[in-house]
Chain A
Amino acid sequence: MGGFFKSSIGRKIAMALSAFFLMFFLIIHLAVNITSLFSEDVFNELSHFMGTNPLVQFALQPVLIFGVVFHFVMGFVLELKNKKANGVAYAKNNGAANSTWMSRNMIYSGLVILAFIVLHFIDFWFPEINTKYIQGDMSGMHDGNFRYFHELQHKFLNPARVAAYVVAFILLALHLLHGFTSAFQSVGATAGRKKTLQTFGKVYSIVIPLGFIIIALYHHLNH
């Protein structure tokens, strides 16, 4: 089985499996964040649960970080291997004649998403780790109230940050528009299911990033 994941097809299947995991994570993340549009209390409760539950913190979180790192590292490895397989570049190459922009530029949309994840970690994850595990404050409280909702609102005050988030989510949508069906194709899903998969993939690829964009804009405009 070790040899399988060293083969070109094994690597693309591994890439697809990590993509499935990350796409599932996006649904969970959006489901939690979307509550901030309707109820401060529900958002605070859910955030506190996710931030303090040992299973989430010490089992799911490391798996998620591994999944993200694996997807990016494997993406770069495959890109470098593919560049090596190319040989001399064409003087004229009309890629648009036979494939979508999204499919040809996964590495670039991926790099924007990577830059966004760094920003997102600086914005939310590092301060959270600092508060909980370095300062040792697991209460989730500030001045007698849950701090999560107010921290979220505070982050989206800055229009530059909101703009960066919106751009990143548009690139995420473009990445998913190819990546969703590509992952299914990699694990062997074909013809009969294709149409349904394509439709579901398009809906997923637009709805998920749009949800995150709405959240960022809502908190920017409603503070």
Chain B
Amino acid sequence: MNLTLKIWRQKDSDTKGQMVDYKVTDISEHMSFLEMMDVLNEQLVNAGEEPVAFDHDCREGICGMCSMYINGEAHGPDRGITTCQLHMRMFKDGDTITIEPFRAAAFPVIKDLVVDRTAFERIQQAGGYISVNTSGNTQDANAIPISKHAADEAMDAATCIGCGACVATCKNSSAMLFVGAKVSQYALLPQGQVEAADRVKNMVAQMDLEGFGNCTNTGACEVECPKGISLDNIARMNRELMKANIS
């Protein structure tokens, strides 16, 4: 198929960017979206032009690096996938595809489609862990009984890959689905109880400090999340924060 691509080009974080049109031809419908981008970049390199910078790593739908906003949706029109798992069969011959970086004040553009998502890492560092002594007498995690229901819910929350699609798609650029998932995966387990109050307080404080917006429960994040993280995690985080401030 032949396509017209409208791509955000930006030299670096200090330079103003703009949308630039490109044509790609003979694209196979079996290609992934990133393979199509590879074809474009090969074309650009052969023509002596600067290739389009975009993030990618595993290309297996699990690393969460590929941060593209395609035709007005995070990771494009398909559901439950990252951009590397989006296939060209989702588009038609002759289509015009708009490709932009994830947008949020807390996710500044580094170059073209690459954004700085280290704000997520700083939120994780503020409390997204449990402290375990590694003295040699560490208790086996399986020695503590956990109900199947709690284990499943914690696992569901833990599948968040921190890709940032929730922020990118949220009209308020809110990070609450991400933080809700990270708070929940520990709040549901006995190992997470010791630091529960400090965790939620510190992670929410860091989230606010990074300049993410306020959640208005539109639910767009849940729809666009490649891992199907539920809004219930945001409600749980809200409960955890209330609990932490009351106790």
Residues of A in contact with B (beta carbons under 8 Å apart)? 1, 4, 7-13, 78, 81-82, 84-95, 97-100, 103-104, 106, 178, 181-182, 185-191
The residue among B72, B207, B224 with the most chain A CB atoms within 10 A of its own CB is B72
Minimum C-beta distance from B227 to chain A (A): 15
B82 interface residue per 8 A CB criterion: no
Minimum C-beta distance from A91 to chain B (A): 5
Cβ contact within 8 Å between A92 and B231 = no
Cβ contact within 8 Å between A78 and B214 = yes
The one of B172, B230, B235 in contact with A189, judged by C-beta atoms closer than 8 angstroms, is B235
Cβ contact within 8 Å between A13 and B173 = no
Cβ contact within 8 Å between A94 and B73 = yes
Minimum C-beta distance from A222 to chain B (A): 41
Q: Report chain A residues within 8 Å CB of B224.
A: 98
Q: Report chain B residues within 8 Å CB of A8.
A: 174, 176, 204, 207-208, 212-215
Minimum C-beta distance from B110 to chain A (A): 13
> Which residue of chain B has its CB nearest to the CB of A188?
B239
State which of B25-33, B47-55, B97-105 sits at the interface with chain A: B97-105
Bound-complex Cα distance A98 to B166 (A): 11
Cβ contact within 8 Å between B231 and A98 = no
Bound-complex Cα distance A79 to B157 (A): 28
Cβ contact within 8 Å between A86 and B205 = no
> Which residue of chain B has its CB nearest to the CB of A5?
B245
DSSP majority for the A interface? Answer: helix
Minimum C-beta distance from A165 to chain B (A): 27
B192 interface residue per 8 A CB criterion: no
Bound-complex Cα distance A87 to B107 (A): 9
The count of A-to-B residue pairs whose CB atoms sit within 8 angstroms is 142
Contact string against A for B residues 1-36, beta-carbon threshold 8 Å, 1 for contact and 0 otherwise: 000001010000000010100000000000000000
> Which residue of chain A has its CB nearest to the CB of B238?
A188
The residue among B72, B216, B242 with the most chain A CB atoms within 10 A of its own CB is B216
> Which residue of chain A has its CB nearest to the CB of B96?
A92
Cβ contact within 8 Å between A78 and B71 = no
B178 interface residue per 8 A CB criterion: no
B113 interface residue per 8 A CB criterion: no
Contact string against A for B residues 98-130, beta-carbon threshold 8 Å, 1 for contact and 0 otherwise: 101001111111000000000000000000000
10 nearest A-B residue pairs (beta carbon): A94-B72, A85-B213, A188-B239, A98-B223, A82-B172, A103-B218, A82-B213, A182-B217, A87-B105, A98-B220
Bound-complex Cα distance A110 to B231 (A): 24
- B residues 132-156 near A (Cβ < 8 Å) are none
18 further A-B pairs in the complex, CB-CB below 8 A; given A8-B204, A81-B213, A98-B220: A7-B205, A12-B238, A82-B216, A84-B105, A85-B105, A85-B213, A86-B103, A86-B105, A87-B105, A87-B107, A90-B72, A91-B98, A97-B72, A98-B223, A99-B219, A100-B218, A191-B230, A191-B232
Cβ contact within 8 Å between A185 and B235 = yes
The one of B106, B107, B217, B239 in contact with A103, judged by C-beta atoms closer than 8 angstroms, is B217
Cβ contact within 8 Å between A12 and B173 = no
The one of A82, A98, A185, A191 in contact with B214, judged by C-beta atoms closer than 8 angstroms, is A82
B211 interface residue per 8 A CB criterion: yes
Bound-complex Cα distance A141 to B10 (A): 72
Q: Report chain B residues within 8 Å CB of A81.
A: 213-214
The one of A7, A89, A103, A187 in contact with B216, judged by C-beta atoms closer than 8 angstroms, is A103
Cβ contact within 8 Å between B237 and A99 = no
Chain A to chain B contacts (Cβ below 8 Å), 21 pairs: A1-B245, A9-B176, A9-B238, A12-B214, A13-B238, A82-B214, A85-B211, A86-B103, A86-B105, A90-B69, A90-B72, A94-B72, A95-B220, A97-B73, A103-B220, A106-B216, A185-B231, A187-B242, A188-B238, A188-B239, A190-B236
